[in-house]
Amino acid sequence: MEKNLKEARVLLDIPCQLGEGMMWSKRERCLYWVDILDKRIHSYHLKSKESACWDLPSYVSKIVPWPDGSGKFLVAMQRGLAVWTKETQDLTVVAELDSRDGQIRTNDGGIDPEGNFWFGTMHMQALSGQGKLMRFRNGILETVIPEVTIPNGIVWPNNSPYFYFIDTYTREIRRYARPAALDTIRKAGNTFSTLLRVPEELGMPDGMCIGPDGHLWVAHWGGFAVCKWHIETGELLNKIEVDAPHVTSCCFGGPTGSDVFISTAREGLTNEQLESFPDSGKVFHFNLSEGK
């Protein structure tokens, strides 16, 4: 492994119960993320250092730009997907989900190269096999992979025949062939290759993104770090240390694309752990140029 990068620093002093879904908006040059349990969307302008937040009526797990260029957003909420207008705070439901009377909620997600939104669902108590990986395409919801537990980190590397997906419960980073149609996955019995199984001492793999170097950068729940994994061999290449146990998601952005933004959580920590790691739940930041 390369020499460890330096430790990430707290970007702003706004703790979340379950910070997730880091997203850099190139259009606005602004960072967005959510607090799932507090039902809130957050934003932060790196240049002006201005922050804002908006309350939503239910659990919200992911925010991505609506593809029509209008400046609106698609948000994944407990009972479905909705288009959110920041200026007016209007929510327009575009797809409904069966939450099983509040037992199921959405989790991580992302936009594929064709502009479709993929997202996961899971049981509120993370019961095994109760979730799915789904795709929202042309206004229709489709199940891609049934019976997952904690769906996370779905990414599509450029010029790659694969997409990568994490089911945190299994500790695996999986590699699936990128099909022309979903039937390819279904008929193959959801076959995949395991790129790597994260060692216990590094915690559990959570959110994931593709770095400017083309490798996988993964937030590690219980691992105090964002780790860089080789996209072809699964070798641990480097890591950014975070002074919070539960690291949940990461994304690249900033003026040159070399800034790493990292979300963390307070959920699941004891009072003693919160006293030892008071920055838990805050957003952390690291610039790759600092590690050179």
pLDDT above 70: residue 136: yes
Burial 190-227 (b: 16+ CB within 10 A, else e): eebeebbebeeebbbbbbbbbbeeebbbbbbbebbbbb
Domain ranges of the chain: 9-291
pLDDT averaged over the chain? 92
Beta bridge partners of 35: 19, 40
Is the model's pLDDT at 291 over the cut of 80?
no
**So what's the pLDDT on residue 188?**
46
Helix, strand or coil, per DSSP, at residue 195: strand
Per-position DSSP letters for 39-93, written without gaps between them = TEEEEEETTT--EEEEE-SS-EEEEEE-TTSSS-EEEEETTEEEEEETTTTEEEE
Q: Can you tell me the distance from the alpha carbon of 218 to that of 227, in angstroms, rounded to the nearest whole number?
A: 5
Quote the DSSP letter at residue 223: T
Angle at Cα 240 formed by Cα 236 and Cα 243, nearest 5°? Answer: 130
**pTM confidence score:** 0.94
Q: DSSP of 119-159, one letter per residue? A: EEEEETT--TT-EEEEEEETTEEEEEEEEESSEEEEE--TT
- Tens digits of residue pLDDT in 27-85: 999 999 999 999 999 999 999 999 999 999 999 999 999 887 788 999 999 999 999 99
Count of other CB atoms within 10 angstroms of residue 245? 22
Per-residue confidence (pLDDT) for residue 182, from 0 to 100? 56
CA dist 185 and 102 (Å) reads 29
Are the beta carbons of 249 and 206 closer than 8 angstroms?
Answer: yes
181, pLDDT greater than 90 = no
> Per-residue pLDDT averaged across 251-261, rounded?
96
Q: Is residue 1 over pLDDT 90? A: no
Convert the pLDDT of each residue in 271-289 to its tens digit: 999 999 999 999 999 999 8
* Spatial distance between the Cα atoms of 154 and 110, rounded to a whole number of angstroms: 6
Both tokens of 187, joined, read 């008929």
Share of the chain above pLDDT 70, in %: 94
Over residues 220-245, the pLDDT tens digits come to 999 999 999 999 999 999 999 999 99
Query: 247 burial class (0-12, 13-18, 19+ CB within 10 angstroms)?
Result: buried
pLDDT at 186 over 60: no
How large a percentage of the chain has pLDDT more than 90?
A: 84
CA dist 130 and 140 (Å) reads: 21
> Which residue in 183, 186, 157, 162 sits closest to 174, CA to CA?
162
- pLDDT band at 132, cuts 50/70/90? very high
- CATH topology for the 9-291 domain: Neuraminidase (2.120.10)
